[in-house]
Structure 1
Amino acid sequence: MRKRTLLLLALIAALVAVLLWWFRPWSPYSPSVMTRLFHPEYRLDNFRAMENVFPYVILPASDTPTPLPRAATPGDLPQTFRHNGEDIDVGEFLTRTETTGLMVLQDGEVQLEQYFQGTEPTSRLTSWSMAKTVVSTLVAIAHEDGHIGSLDDKVSDYVPALKGKAYGDVSIQHLLMMASGIDFDETYHKHTSDINLLFYRVFLLGASARDVVASHPAAQPSGERFHYISPNTQILAWVLAEAVGSSVSAYASEQLWQPLGMEDDALWNLDQHGIELAFCCLNVTLRDYAKLGQLHLQQGVWNYQQILPEGWVFSATRRPEPWMASGHGYAERGYGYHLWTPTEPDGEYFFNGVWGQTIWVAENPGVVIVKTSVDPDFRPHTAEMISFMRGVTAHLSRTSEKPDT
């Protein structure tokens, strides 16, 4: 009887311990909340309030916030766009892809700004992998400022802790190109893939994101093949932080949020060790996302100041390596320095994140389009999204043409 009582007490204690770990009443961040991130009932609210899911740091709005100018005569959307030889209804596409926000700029002026599903202008919409492009942009600035000597420098030149590990021998440029050669499986629908194990270890078990990705071995030499994996950006951000001597978010605030006159506070989610989740999880209002696109459209110039290195955008979006083009990883898009390019690009490139986050830039007509979404079918919709962006761009170009006098 005594043994049974002790066993029962032990089981009760174990159950209480598990429940305390799962719900963590002493913390706002618990596995019970984190595991609901993508649940259909919660994901819409989660994607515009990630501060309720993970720890975060604030990137304050600019001391001199500057709204984007608005067109004297607002633009509109086309009724349809062409995709795979068919006319697709724009309204139906926006609904089907669970759009939360849409902003269109032409020549730096707001032509259209729309919000859906209860999203508001002040909503901070999560970036997912669009944050990767922000990290690469900051690396460009750090290189120009002399904090990073050369893009050919190795990771271990800046992060001694990675000396002797596979990542330590990878160059900064190869990280930017997603050509590290590191063995990592980024298959989201496979529960035991490396990317899902990373999420489990960081979000549920409280491991450091840096520690989780640091020891992955090489599958092949770097610089030979495009292979898109999130750890490359986490390592790139580690290099950046060591090079500039501050956190990634502090550097972003100083080098981007302040000079661009960002109107709203942004948030960058952290792991439980206070390090930015650099491969994802930057949370920004639609209008401030648009400024990031406009900065690239203007070749890094803002208010007559060269924010990005001269020629950076060209190098980042027009890679000469044939294995960086579309068809070498993804049929409908190629890659550059943490920027995507569509098939047969005509001065077009885009930031992109899972669940349908996009900042589209079309240089020749001077168009920037931001679309945020909560789209579970974002992957099969990517090619259609590109057609949508091109359709909106073409429509704006036609309707903005001045008649001959």
Structure 2
Amino acid sequence: MRRLLSILLKGLAAFLLLLVCVGTFLYLSDPIFYKRLATAMQGMDVSAVEWRQPNERVPGGDAELEVADEHKLDAEAVSEAITYAEHTDSMALLVYHRGALVVERYWEDHASDSRFDSGSMHKSVLGLLIGAAIDDGYIESLNDPVGKYIEEWSEDERGDIALRELLTMSSGLKVEAMRPTPFNKGMRLMLGADINELALSLPREQEPGQAFEYMNFNSQILGIALVRAVERPYAEYLAERIWQPLGAPDAAVWLDREGGDPRTFCCLLTSARAWVKVGKLFLNEGRVAGEQVLPAEWIRQMASPSEVNPNYGLHVWLGAPEDGQREYNSASDFAVRHSAPYKADDVLFFDGAGGQRLYVIPSAELAIVRIGHPETDWDDAILPNTLLRGL
């Protein structure tokens, strides 16, 4: 019995030593990832912008946002929208209608200058920047192969993927959904310290342009191509071409490490009012104060259904799916509910995880921003349809 106990103790000690060795090796391979992973629950709060370090400033402006003392939205509809925002643990709800901000509500001591991480809403801003790069001549065409801009893929089959296929989430790259494990590539893209190298390691599994597979890797690779095409830092180009012309307050992009690369698939740290200004850019077909900041044709292209998904354009979501469930990709077990068709045919929206949203409805001259705690049962029909009924 004593000998058996000794063997068991030695086995346990060896197992624990192995765990320590493996854990040490993994930690040393990317200590930034494991430090972030250890405090990731804190990062779940979209208002915890200080947790998202390091970050790089995106200088903006101070253009005033028009605020209306009176509006033509039905008071009952506005009350219903505010109630839904309250019941879904929102931090901000802003409604812009016919040239002015008509609703601006904040909760939990947040205010107009509070900054939030609105998740994948950043993807749609990246889409705007691709249009700017084409307008500026840095990118020739959406049909350009990405290998033209990413040297590592210039002689690789992945280099044949067109920029359009990255924008429409039909790249054919291996689908990597984010899972809460340290070995998951999706999680490493979110928290790791060398995300560009990770993104460029993703293999191709099928022919590009065949299937819609929404995933963060497509946007990160698109961001790499953009930065290399314009030959300047992402934050600098974003400020010059979008943020400063909008007169939006300063923002920040989250870097993977000090002096490293920005996450272009998520995590643009800015205020709810800034998103209203982005919504105005769509409502005004690329114009700001009479100046054509982006070509109107690019705004229309972004809002046009792609061949692989009628509910997705160029990095923006469009309309409501017929079956009432919007799925992201074939590896995801999560879908967003659309309890009813939209009451307008031209609803487009920026989608951030857990109900971070910018809805834009040009026919109604309406933009709606909701920022809040991640909501697993978010219903994309309620806010737009409630306010459309109140017109």
> What TM-score do the two structures reach when normalised by structure 1?
0.78
Q: Once the two structures are aligned, what percentage of the paired residues are identical? A: 27
Q: How does 1:1-400 map to 2 (within 5 A)?
A: 31-37=34-40, 39=41, 42=42, 46-62=45-61, 65-74=62-71, 79=76, 90-186=81-177, 188=178, 190-191=179-180, 196-200=184-188, 203-204=191-192, 206=193, 208-262=194-248, 264-272=249-257, 274-319=260-305, 321=307, 323-325=308-310, 334-343=311-320, 346-377=345-376, 380-381=377-378, 384-395=379-390, 397=391
Alpha-carbon distance in 2 for matches of 1:72, 1:252: 33
Which consecutive unaligned segments of at least 5 residues does structure 2 have? 1-12, 321-341
Deviation of the 1:54 alpha carbon: 2.5
1:244-303 Cα shifts (integer Å, max 9, x gaps): 1112111000011111111x2211101115111000010111111110011011111111
1:310-352 Cα shifts (integer Å, max 9, x gaps): 211221112262x312xxxxxxxx1000000122661210111
Change (3 A) 1:369 1:90: closer
When the two chains are superposed, the root-mean-square deviation of aligned CA atoms in Å is: 3.0
Change (3 A) 1:192 1:30: closer
Deviation of the 1:93 alpha carbon: 2.3
Alpha-carbon distance in 1 for matches of 2:182, 2:143: 30
Deviation of the 1:53 alpha carbon: 3.1
- The one-letter amino acid paired with 2:382 is S
Alpha-carbon distance in 2 for matches of 1:320, 1:286: 28
Alpha-carbon distance in 1 for matches of 2:164, 2:356: 25
On the 8 A contact 1:295/1:301 being kept in 2, the answer is yes
Q: Which moved more, 1:268-277 or 1:337-346?
A: 337-346
On the 8 A contact 2:195/2:256 being kept in 1, the answer is yes
> What TM-score do the two structures reach when normalised by structure 2?
0.81
1:133-190 Cα shifts (integer Å, max 9, x gaps): 111100001101111011100111111122233431100111111110111232x4x4
Count of aligned positions: 351
Alpha-carbon distance in 2 for matches of 1:355, 1:36: 19
Deviation of the 1:34 alpha carbon: 4.5
On the 8 A contact 2:92/2:370 being kept in 1, the answer is yes
Alpha-carbon distance in 1 for matches of 2:362, 2:182: 37
**DSSP 3-state at the match of 1:358:** strand
Which consecutive unaligned segments of at least 5 residues does structure 1 have? 1-6, 82-87, 326-333, 398-405
Alpha-carbon distance in 1 for matches of 2:381, 2:294: 26
On the 8 A contact 2:167/2:315 being kept in 1, the answer is yes
Deviation of the 1:32 alpha carbon: 4.4
